[in-house]
Amino acid sequence: MTKTTSFQMDIRPLFTERDIQGMSRAFNLRSYDDVKKHAGAIYDRIRGIGGAVMPPPPPKGEGPWQQSRIELFAKWMADGFQP
Ligand code: HEM
CA of 19 to the centre of ligand 1 (A): 7
What is the spatial distance between Cα 70 and Cα 55, in angstroms, rounded to a whole number? 12
CA of 40 to the centre of ligand 1 (A): 15
User: Where on the phi/psi map is residue 17: left (φ > 0), alpha (ψ -120 to 50), or beta?
Assistant: alpha
Within-domain flag for 40: yes
Q: Is the C-beta atom of 27 inside 6 A of ligand 1?
A: no
Q: Which domain range does residue 70 map to?
A: 7-78
Q: Are 50 and 42 in contact (CB under 8 A)?
A: no
Q: Look up the pTM and report it.
A: 0.94
Within-domain flag for 2: no
Give Rg (Cα) of the chain.
12
pLDDT value, residue 35: 98
Domain count across the chain: 1
Within-domain flag for 49: yes
Confidence of residue 1 (pLDDT cuts 50, 70, 90): low
Within-domain flag for 31: yes
Q: Is the C-beta atom of 30 inside 6 A of ligand 1?
A: no
Q: Is the C-beta atom of 18 inside 6 A of ligand 1?
A: yes
pLDDT value, residue 57: 97
Q: Is the C-beta atom of 35 inside 6 A of ligand 1?
A: no
Side-chain half-sphere CA neighbours of 19 within 13 A: 23
